[in-house]
């Protein structure tokens, strides 16, 4: 694997899952693979799980880690070409990415959507600039439109907890007080489309995901109907794609409750975290045995380690 920005960068999903499960069982089996290699994890936005799991995964493979909170600790970086840099930005991405590439063999980048300019966000300017100028393998730690490490961990979790060959997986929008990007739902849909699952997406009207992600996936606007017979409920908030970045609804009737979970086939509850209690999901559901959010988060290590493994193997 050369880069890891989306499922399109994965040569074989089957092989990636196999190595993830192997590394879960034997996390230190390939601890010499990353010897004398450094991964630099660059954060333009906050993180708990991605930062810590990516560090832990690197350590398991014998790699050194540099964590760089660009938003707080660096010069402000200019992304546009051919600009007169007489504003706040002191450094251009061309030099910044190229220099970081001198210090690390692999680079991870987290850069969220601005939710101001749909075209710019969906062009993935930050991530693609690192690909263009760093000269190193680039791993998305969540970009403007996708969160592939999360999606891989989600798939590992579904494989572990499923009780039938083709479970029904429901991605449900849930209310949130702020505008959130579409990266997690976009990515989840992208990965589930190629996974052995029956995928249904449910959300209020106006929250349709970008056509290139949703394609012909079943969308059910009646949340209760969508939940019927579900084996997994994956809750997530996202802002509108069509009215880009807007919060069109905060309808609390979309919150995941125990009553709604009773409509399912004893479904497991999933969320990428962080999650707002009693906004997205009730305490009762999140604290119940049906919630698998902690093993889901734990699988972030296996996901990151499997991606590092495949990149290190092809270097
Ligand atoms: N799920 C996830 O990416 O968590 P963080 O934002 O804390 O990294």
Q: What is the pLDDT of residue 71?
A: 87
Q: What is the pLDDT of residue 47?
A: 97
Confidence of residue 51 (pLDDT cuts 50, 70, 90): very high
CA 300–ligand 1 middle distance (angstroms) = 9
Q: What is the pLDDT of residue 309?
A: 98
Residue 8 has pLDDT above 90, yes or no: yes
To test ligand 1's pocket by mutation, which of 44, 46, 49, 147 has the most ligand atoms within 8 angstroms of CB? 49
**pLDDT, tens digit (0-9, with 9 covering 90-100), for 53-71:** 999 999 999 999 999 999 8
Q: What is the pLDDT of residue 274?
A: 98
Residue 225 has pLDDT above 90, yes or no: yes
Q: Is the dihedral of CA 253, 257, 262, 264 positive or negative?
A: positive
Query: What tokens were used for 244?
Result: 């880009």
Residue nearest to atom 6 of ligand 1 (CA): 47
- What mean pLDDT comes out for the span 179-208? 98
Annotated domain spans of the chain: 7-146+300-314, 148-297
- What mean pLDDT comes out for the span 188-205? 98
Q: Is the CB of 149 under 6 A from ligand 1?
A: no
Q: Is the CB of 223 under 6 A from ligand 1?
A: no
Residue 271 has pLDDT above 90, yes or no: yes
- What mean pLDDT comes out for the span 265-291? 98
Q: Is the CB of 236 under 6 A from ligand 1?
A: no
**pLDDT, tens digit (0-9, with 9 covering 90-100), for 86-111:** 999 999 999 999 999 999 999 999 99
Q: What is the pLDDT of residue 211?
A: 98
Q: Is the CB of 299 under 6 A from ligand 1?
A: no
DSSP bridge partners of 173: 236
- Does the domain at 148-297 match CATH 3.40.50.1370? Answer given as yes
To test ligand 1's pocket by mutation, which of 151, 153, 186, 272 has the most ligand atoms within 8 angstroms of CB? 272
pTM comes to 0.98
Fold equal for 7-146+300-314 and 148-297: yes
Q: What is the pLDDT of residue 301?
A: 98
- Taking every pair of Cα atoms in the chain, the longest distance, rounded to a whole number of angstroms, is 60
- Say if residues 171 and 214 touch (Cβ distance below 8 Å): no
To test ligand 1's pocket by mutation, which of 294, 296, 300 has the most ligand atoms within 8 angstroms of CB? 300
Residue nearest to atom 1 of ligand 1 (CA): 272
Percent of the chain scored above 90 by pLDDT? 99
- What mean pLDDT comes out for the span 28-43? 98
What atom in ligand 1 is closest to the CA of residue 51?
A: 8
Question: What mean pLDDT is reported for the chain?
Answer: 98
CA 87–ligand 1 middle distance (angstroms) = 31
Q: Is the CB of 272 under 6 A from ligand 1?
A: yes
What are phi and psi for residue 235, nearest 5 degrees?
A: -95, 145
What's the fold here for domain 7-146+300-314? Rossmann fold (3.40.50)
Percent of the chain scored above 70 by pLDDT? 100
Confidence of residue 20 (pLDDT cuts 50, 70, 90): very high
């Amino acid at each position: 694997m050369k880069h890891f920005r989306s499922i399109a960068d994965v040569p074989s999903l089957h092989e990636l899952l196999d190595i993830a499960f192997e590394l879960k069982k034997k996390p230190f089996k390939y601890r010499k693979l990353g010897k004398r290699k450094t991964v630099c994890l660059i954060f333009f936005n906050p993180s708990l799980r991605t930062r810590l799991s990516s560090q832990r995964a690197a350590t398991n493979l014998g790699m050194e880690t540099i964590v760089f909170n660009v938003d707080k600790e660096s010069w402000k970086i200019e992304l546009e070409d051919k600009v007169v840099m007489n504003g706040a930005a002191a450094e251009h991405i061309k030099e910044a990415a190229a220099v970081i590439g001198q210090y690390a063999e692999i680079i991870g980048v987290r850069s969220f959507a601005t939710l101001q300019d749909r075209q710019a966000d969906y062009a993935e300017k930050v991530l693609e600039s690192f690909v263009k100028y760093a000269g190193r393998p680039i791993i998305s730690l969540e970009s403007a439109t996708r969160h592939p490490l999360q999606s891989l961990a989600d798939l590992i979790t579904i494989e572990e907890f499923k009780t039938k060959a083709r479970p029904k997986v429901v991605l449900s929008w849930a209310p949130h007080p702020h505008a959130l990007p579409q990266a997690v739902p976009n990515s989840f849909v992208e990965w589930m489309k190629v996974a052995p699952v029956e995928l249904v997406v449910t959300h209020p009207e106006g929250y349709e995901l970008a056509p290139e992600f949703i394609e012909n996936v079943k969308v059910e606007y009646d949340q209760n109907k969508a939940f019927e017979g579900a084996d997994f409920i994956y809750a997530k908030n996202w802002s509108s794609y069509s009215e880009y970045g807007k919060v069109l609804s905060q309808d609390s009737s979309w919150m995941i409750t125990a009553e709604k979970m009773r409509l399912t086939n004893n479904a497991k509850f999933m969320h990428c975290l962080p999650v707002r209690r009693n906004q997205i999901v009730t305490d009762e559901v999140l604290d119940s045995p049906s919630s698998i959010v902690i093993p889901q988060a734990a699988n972030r290590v296996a996901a990151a380690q499997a991606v590092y493994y495949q990149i290190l193997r092809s270097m």
